[in-house]
């Protein structure tokens, strides 16, 4: 079995940091991640700089990284303006993002779920690169509480309908349990082919590795993680870091094809810059 890990540290890991991290550091972080063996690295976001000031330098980061042939360098895109910026930067793959909860979607992208899907239809029609669709608050919402698997299935279906090639299911605030993960995976099975499904766990309650283990047991092979377990969403109170890439390497070993020492070296580049006010 091969486990495909999408490294999201430069985006999810850094987006919640209050003090602006120098672009040089971000470029060095991505370049170090390029030496680890990842098939895909999520480099930044082409969102409104008013909403996520930390990632306002996405264009510059893309211009200055050294791209390793064979690695996909992706970024978040919320709307047509973001797509234009991403295309200009030569992004290899984009990710649109919505959620299973109306309140979170309003707080995160200032839209209803239905409006977000219509925005994505327009973005995907114009996109010339593959598109991932994130589906946040798939288990618990910081505003609405537990989320029914049916709601997740409905949004996943709409993401596929508008042309997403991959759907990443987010435990945004890290509250899911392995049983809940299995329930959602089972509910999604008739709708999302397993090779087009990714799981995106945050580790707030220390269950992210167990959750990944359970998802792998039901056939999921793609997982998002961040070097050093850094991260969190600024619009999800209580969200902590992503599951750490090193923890997934420890759990899944050689199946990940990643160099653990190289991931440690990459994490060490950015660690001193985290937590500044």
Contact 181, 214 (CB under 8 A): yes
Q: Is 90 left (phi over 0), alpha (psi -120 to 50) or beta?
A: left
Catalytic positions: 233
Beta-bridged to residue 242, according to DSSP, are 202
Report the residue number whose CB is nearest to ligand HMG. 170
Segment 228-247, which members bind ligand HMG (CB under 6 A)? 233, 235
Contacts to ligand HMG from residues 184-203, by CB under 6 A: 200, 202
Burial of 59 (0-12, 13-18, 19+ CB in 10 A): middle
Sole residue written with tokens 């042939």: 69
For Mg ion (CB under 5 A), the number of binding residues is 1
Candidates 30-38, 76-84, 153-161, 214-222; binding stretch for ligand HMG (CB under 6 A): 76-84
Contact 5, 223 (CB under 8 A): yes
Secondary structure letter of residue 276 according to DSSP = -
3-state class of 72 per DSSP? Answer: strand
Could you give phi then psi for residue 105, rounded to 5 degrees?
A: -60, -40
**What's the token pair of residue 140?**
């618990």
From the list ligand HMG, Mg ion, none, partner contacted by residue 256 (C-beta under 5 to 8 A by kind): none
45 binds, among ligand HMG, Mg ion, none (CB under 5 to 8 A by kind): ligand HMG
- How is residue 95 written in tokens? 């990710």
Select from 44, 45, 222, 240 the one that contacts ligand HMG (CB under 6 A). Answer: 45
136 binds ligand HMG (CB under 6 A): yes
Site for Mg ion in 4-43 (CB under 5 A): 12
Q: Which of residues 92-111 bind ligand HMG (CB under 6 A)?
A: 97, 108-110
Tokens of 4: 């495909």
Q: Segment near ligand HMG (CB under 6 A), from 74-82, 124-132, 159-167, 184-192?
A: 74-82
Task: Please say which residue, 52 or 212, places its beta carbon nearer to ligand HMG.
Answer: 52
Task: Give me 237's structure tokens.
Answer: 């109170």
What residues make contact with Mg ion under the rule CB under 5 A? 12
What residues make contact with ligand HMG under the rule CB under 6 A? 12, 15, 45-52, 76, 78-79, 81-82, 85, 97, 108-110, 134, 136, 170, 172, 200, 202, 233, 235
């Amino acid at each position: 079995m091969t486990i495909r890990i999408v490294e999201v540290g430069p985006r999810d890991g850094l987006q919640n940091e209050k003090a602006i991290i120098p672009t040089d550091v971000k470029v060095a972080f991505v370049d170090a991640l390029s030496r680890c063996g990842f098939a895909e690295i999520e480099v930044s976001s082409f969102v409104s700089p008013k909403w996520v000031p930390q990632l306002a330098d996405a264009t510059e980061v893309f211009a200055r990284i050294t791209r390793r042939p064979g690695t996909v360098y992706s970024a978040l895109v919320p709307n047509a303006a973001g797509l234009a910026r991403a295309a200009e930067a030569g992004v290899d793959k984009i990710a649109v993002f919505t959620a299973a909860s109306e309140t979170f979607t309003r707080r995160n992208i200032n839209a209803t779920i239905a409006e977000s899907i219509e925005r994505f239809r327009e973005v995907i029609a114009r996109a010339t690169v593959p598109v991932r669709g994130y589906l946040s608050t798939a288990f618990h919402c910081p505003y609405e509480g537990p989320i029914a698997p049916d709601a997740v299935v409905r949004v996943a279906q709409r993401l596929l309908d508008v042309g997403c090639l991959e759907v990443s299911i987010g435990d945004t605030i890290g509250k899911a349990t392995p049983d809940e993960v299995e329930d959602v995976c089972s509910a999604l099975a008739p709708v999302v082919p397993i090779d087009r499904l990714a799981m995106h766990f945050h580790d707030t309650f220390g269950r992210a590795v167990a959750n990944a283990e359970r998802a792998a047991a039901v056939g999921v092979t793609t997982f998002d993680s961040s070097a050093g377990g850094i991260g969190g969403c600024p619009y999800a109170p209580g969200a902590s870091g992503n599951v750490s890439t090193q923890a997934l390497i420890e759990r899944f070993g050689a199946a990940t094809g990643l160099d653990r020492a190289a991931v440690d070296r990459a994490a060490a580049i950015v660690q001193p810059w985290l937590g500044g006010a």
